[in-house]
Structure 1
Amino acid sequence: MMNVDTIAAISTAVGEGGIAIIRVSGPEAVSEAKKYFRSKSDIATADSHTVHYGHIVDPANGEAVEEILLTIMRGPRSFTAEDVVELSTHGGIVAVKRVLELLLKEGTIRIAEPGEFTKRAFLNGRIDLTQAEAVIDLIRSKSDRAFSVAMKQAEGALSRKVKTLRHELIELLAHIEVNIDYPEHDVTEMTSSFIRTRCQEACSVIDGLLKTAGEGKILREGIVTAIVGRPNVGKSSLLNALVQENKAIVTDIPGTTRDVIEEYISLGGIPLRLLDTAGIRETSDVVERIGVERSRTALEEADLILLVLNANEQMHEDDRLLIEQLKDRPVIILLNKTDLPVVIDEQELLAIASADSIVRLSVLQESGLDQLEKVISGMFFGGELESGDLTYVSNVRHITLLGHARQSLVDAVEATEAGIPIDIVQIDVRQAWEQLGEMIGDSVSESLLDQIFSQFCLGK
C-alpha cells in the first residue's frame, strides 16, 4: 500500500493571508526542491529542521517566481517520517499557485491525494489509525473542548488504552494455547474461571470507553439544534444573539425567514449546530410554504429542539399544534420577550407540554441565555463536562468496533459457563483482539484506509 514517489500540495487554506505553505514529501523532496531554490546555502547538505531564505526560480528562463522561506525536515523526524520540505510563500492565490505549478511541471513530483501526508505517517509507523483519524477531528473542531479531546487522541491517549487491552488479551490467548498444547497439565475448571475473569475485566475497560461515546460524539459532531416556533416570536433574533452576529434578517414582518439558516456555535464548551427555521404555520405563500416544509424536515433531524414562544401574548393554536407534534422529543421551551408584560398562561403551558425544561428569556436584553446554557449542559452532560484525563470515544468506527469486541468477549464468557471446550472459546477471544487491532490499524484493508483518508483536505 506504500507509495515511494514524491508528492506536493498546498497545506494552508487557499485565499488571501500573510503566508501560504506548500508541503513536499518523499524520497526526492530535497533534491527536487533544490532544482528550483536559489540561496546562499546548499539545502542538499543542510541539517534537518533548518529554515533557509531564498527564491524559487524557473530553470527554463532564470526568472524569479517567488521569494520564500524553505524548511527542511529529514525523515524519520518529520510528520510523514519521510524527507519533507515546506515552502512558505507570500499569502494569496497567485503566488502559491505559481510555485506549485512549477514544482509539478516536470512530472517528477505529483499532486498529493486528500489526506495522503497523514496516510504516509500512518503507513510509515509514525502514528496509528486512531491518531490519524484524530487529525481530521482537530481540523474540524467546533469548540475548545472538542479540540482538547481530539488533541488527546492525536497524542495517543485512546490508542494506548487499546494497546494495553490487546496486550492483556494476547497474554490470555497465550495461556489458552499452553493449555491446549499440554492438556495433561490443565485443570479445566480453573482455566475456564481464569478466562471468564480476564474477559470480564476487559469488558469493564471497554464499558468505560463506551460510556463516553455519547458525549464524545456530541463534542465531535455537535448537537443538531433546531430553533422553531411561529413567525415573529424571536427565532432569528435568538440565533443572532447566540452567534453574536447578525446572521439572520430580523423584521417585524411575519415570515421573513424563508429557509433554514445553519450556524455552529460553542455554548459553554458544547458545540451546537444551530438551525434557524422558517416560522411553522399554515400559509398560502408558495415560497414560505417551501420554507415551512424544510423546517419540518429540520425538526426530524434535530437532536435538540428550542421551541420559542412569545411570552407577551396568549398561546396561539399554532403553538399548541407544535407542542403536540414535539411530544417525546428533547425540547426546551423558551418564553421570549419577558422584558414586556408576561401574558402567556404558564399553567396551561405546563399542563400540555412535555418539555425537558422551560426557560424565560429576553433576546432583546440578552437575559436568560446563561440559564439556557446550563439547561443544555444538564441535558447532555449531566450538568458539566468531564474534566481531567478522561479519554472520550467520539468516532463512529471506533464505537462500532469496541461494541463488536465487547460482544466477542461476552460470547467467550458465556461459552466457558456453558462448558464449551477452550479451543472454541479461544476463537471469540482472538476475534476481540483482532477487532481492537482494526481500531488502531494493525489489521485494516486498503479500501478502508482510502475511505478514511478521502475525508481529509489535500494538504494534510
Structure 2
Amino acid sequence: MESFADFDQATIAAIATPPGAGGIGIIRISGSRAREILLQLFRPARGEVASGRSHQLRYGWIVEPESGRPLDEVMAVYMAAPATYTREDVVEIHGHGGYVVLREILGLILAREGVRAAEAGEFTKRAFLNGRIDLTRAEAVLDVLNAGTREGLNLAMSQLQGGLQQQLEPVRRALLEVLAVVEVAIDFPDEDAEIIDTAALGRRLELEVRQPLQELLERADRGRIFREGATVVILGRPNVGKSSLLNALLQDERAIVTAIPGTTRDTIEECLNIHGMPLRIVDTAGIRETTEEVEGIGIERSRRRVAEADLVLLLVEAGSEPSSEDMALFDSVREKKVLVVVNKLDLLGDASPAAAEAALAAWRHRFPGRELTGISARARVGLEQLEDLVFRLISGDEPRDPGYACVPNARHRAALARTLPALERVQQGLAAGLAPELLAVELQACLGSLGEIIGEVGSEELLDTIFSSFCIGK
C-alpha cells in the first residue's frame, strides 16, 4: 500500500450517535491520549480509574476536573491498541442521549491538549490507514449504515467481511505470477521465446483474470440498484387510476382518489421495498393540456420526474380503446424502459380469465415488444405479478436468493473497467509476440487498477473523497 505514514496522529473525539434526544449517547475518542483523557474526566463508582482493565465497561461519572462538578452519569470503557476499531487506544463514554450533555462532555474532551474534533469518517479512515481493514471494507461500513433493505444490508455485510477483496486476490495473484514470467524474459532476452509460453499464459489470463472481472462487472449494476434504489414513475392520463395504484402498492391510502380528473396536482413520492430492492414510487399529475396554473406546474414536475425514471409504468384503462392521449404519452417515453399496466380489470363485467386476456390483447398489439400486465388497483388484483415484472425490468433478473455475493460499487466498477482494456492489450500482445517490456507495462497497469480498489494504490485526495461521505463519529 502507498505510504500514508505522515497522516495526522492527533487524538480525535466525536459524538458517535445521531443528533437529537435519545436513551443513550456515545462519545468516541481515539489516539495516544485517549486513556489519559479518561483518567482526567472519569470518576468510577468503585475503585481507581487506573485500575480498570482494557475492554472493561465501568460505571461512574464524568466530572469537570477543575471544579469536580459531575456532568453526567455514564458507563465508560478503555480499549487498548491494537485490539480496537482504529488499532489505536480508544475510549467510549456511554452517557445520556441529550444533545446538551453530550456537547458539554465533548467540549471538556476537546479542551485537553493534543485533542481535536474528528472529521467525517475519520475513525474508519484510521482503521484503513492502520491496516485493520482494506478500502473495500471501509466503504462497506457506509453501505451498512445506508442500507435501505435487508438484501442491501446483506450485500454490504458481505463486503464488510472482505468478500470483494477475497474475490480480487486470486485475480491479482494470477497477474503477479504472469508478470513474474514476463520479467524473467526481460532479464534473459535471448531466451524470451522459450520462457514465455504464449498459449498457456493467454489461457490463464482468460480463465483466472478476464472471466472473474467480467462477472464482477455484470454484478455492478444490480449492486447499484440494491444500494441506491431505483425510481419508478406511474404515468397516465387523468383518472386512469394512478393514485389508486400507488395506494395499492403501498397498502395505504397515501394519495387522494376521486372520480374528478386532475385530483393529483403535484408529484407524490413514497418508498417501497420490492423483493429487497428499494424503490421510489412517484405518482404523477395526469399529463394533459390545461390552463389551470397549479395543475400546469404539477404537470411540468411530472415530466421532469419521468425523464429521471429508471422505469415508467404507463397506466391505461381496460375496456376502452387507446386514446390519442394514451398514445401521445407512450410516444413521450418510447426511448425509456416502459411497462404497460392495464388497470380496472374489475370493471369489465366478465371476471373470467378469458375476458381479462381479451382485454390485454386489445392493448398488446398497440405496444409491440413491450412488457404488459393487467391489474385492478381498486380490487388489488394482479399486484404480485406487477411487482415481479418491475423487479425483473429494473434488475435484469428474476427475484431469487442472490447468495449475497459481493458486488462492486461505482468506484470499483470504474477501476475494473480500466483494468479490462489493459488486459486485452496484454492478451493481444502475447498473441502477436509483443516485446516483454511492453507486456510488463500493461500488466502493471492492470495491477494498478486493482490496487486502487482495495487501497494498495491511491492518494490522499481519493481517501478524502471516500471518507467525507461518512457521518461524524464513524
TM-score, normalising length from structure 2? 0.90
Q: CA RMSD in A?
A: 2.3
Secondary structure of the structure 2 residue equivalent to 1:306: strand
Q: Confirm or deny that 1:431 pairs with 2:445.
A: yes
Separation of aligned partners in 1, 2:361 and 2:331: 16
Structure 2 CA distance for partners of 1:89 and 1:242, relative to 1, 3 Å: farther
TM-aligned CA deviation for residue 246 of structure 1:
4.6
> 35, 41, 51: which is aligned to 1:36?
41
Q: How is 1:220-369 mapped onto 2 (pairs within 5 angstroms)?
A: 220-311=227-318, 315-341=322-348, 346-354=360-368, 356-369=370-383
1:112 pairs with one of 118, 121, 136: 118
Q: Distance in 2 between matches of 1:422 and 1:277?
A: 61
1:7 maps to 12
Query: How much has 1:160 moved relative to structure 2?
Result: 1.3
d(CA) in 2 for partners of 1:36, 1:252:
67
- Tell me, in whole angstroms, the C-alpha distance in 2 between the residues paired with 1:411 and 1:32: 57
Contact 2:275/2:399 (CA < 8 Å) preserved in 1?
no
Counterpart residue number, 1:385: 400
Identity of aligned residues (%): 41
Q: Distance in 2 between matches of 1:409 and 1:457?
A: 37
| Letter of the structure 2 residue corresponding to residue 16 of structure 1 | A
Superposed, which structure 2 residues align to 1:380-419 within 5 Å?
Answer: 380-388=395-403, 390-393=405-408, 395-419=409-433
User: Which residue in the other structure is 1:375 paired with?
Assistant: 389
C-alpha deviation, 1:332, in angstroms:
1.5
- How far apart are residue 441 of structure 1 and its match? 0.5
Aligned to 2:96: 90
Matches within 5 A, 1:107-146: 108-146=114-152
Deviates more, 1:210-219 or 1:9-18: 9-18
CA contact (8 A) 1:142 1:264 kept: no
- Give, in whole Å, the separation in 2 of the partners of 1:297 and 1:261: 13
Partner residue of 1:166? 172
Map 1:130-209; keep pairs closer than 5 Å: 130-188=136-194, 190-201=196-207, 202-209=209-216
Task: Identify unmatched segments of 5+ residues in structure 1.
Answer: none
Deviation sequence 1:335-383 (CA, Å, 0-9, x none): 3333333699644422222474222223333332211122123332432
The 10-residue stretch of structure 1 (118-127 or 244-253) with the greater mean CA deviation from structure 2: 244-253
Structure-1 separation of matches of 2:415 and 2:75: 44
Cα 1:214–1:342 change in 2 (3 A) is farther
Distance 1:273 1:55, change over 3 A: same
- 1:218-275 per-position Cα deviation (integer Å, ceiling 9, x unaligned): 1111122112222333323333333344544445443343333333321111221222
Give 1:19's match in structure 2, choosing from 15, 19, 24. 24
Cα pair distance change 1:312/1:413, threshold 3 Å: same
Which region of structure 1 is more displaced relative to structure 2, 22-31 or 234-243?
Answer: 234-243
Matches of 1:157 and 1:46 in 2, distance apart? Answer: 37
Letter in 1 for 2:405: L
For the residue of structure 1 that corresponds to 2:174, the secondary structure is helix
Rate the CA distance shift 1:273–1:181 in 2: closer, same or farther, 3 A: same
Structure 2 CA distance for partners of 1:36 and 1:256, relative to 1, 3 Å: farther
Deviation at 1:34, TM superposition (A): 2.5
CA contact (8 A) 1:9 1:111 kept: yes
Query: Once the 2 structures are TM-superposed, how far is the Cα of residue 291 of structure 1 from its aligned partner?
Result: 1.7
Structure 2 stretches lacking a partner, 5+ long: 351-357
CA contact (8 A) 2:340 2:373 kept: yes
**Aligned 8 A contact 1:142 1:265 in 2:** no
With 207-216 and 56-65 compared, the bigger mean Cα shift is at 56-65
Deviating more after overlay: 436-445 vs 258-267? 258-267
How big is the shift at 1:101?
2.7
Do 2:272 and 2:278's aligned partners in 1 also have CA atoms closer than 8 Å? yes
Provide the C-alpha distance between the structure 1 equivalents of 2:140 and 2:250, rounded to a whole number of angstroms. 27
Q: Deviations over 1:101-141 (max 9, x none)?
A: 33223464322111111111110111111111111111111
SS in 1 for 2:52: coil
Closer, same or farther in 2 for the Cα pair 1:248/1:95, shift >3 Å? farther
- Provide the C-alpha distance between the structure 1 equivalents of 2:249 and 2:64, rounded to a whole number of angstroms: 51
* CA shift for structure 1 position 459: 1.8
Cα distance in 1 between the residues matched to 2:306 and 2:273: 21
In structure 2, distance between residues paired with 1:410 and 1:184: 26
Structure 1, 447-456 or 354-363: larger mean CA deviation: 354-363
**Contact 1:332–1:355 (8 Å) recurs in 2:** no
| Partners of 1:141 and 1:220 within 8 A in 2 | yes
The structure-2 alpha-carbon separation of the partners of 1:347 and 1:367, relative to structure 1 and needing over 3 Å to count, comes to closer
Q: What CA distance in whole angstroms lies between the structure 2 residues aligned with 1:63 and 1:69?
A: 17
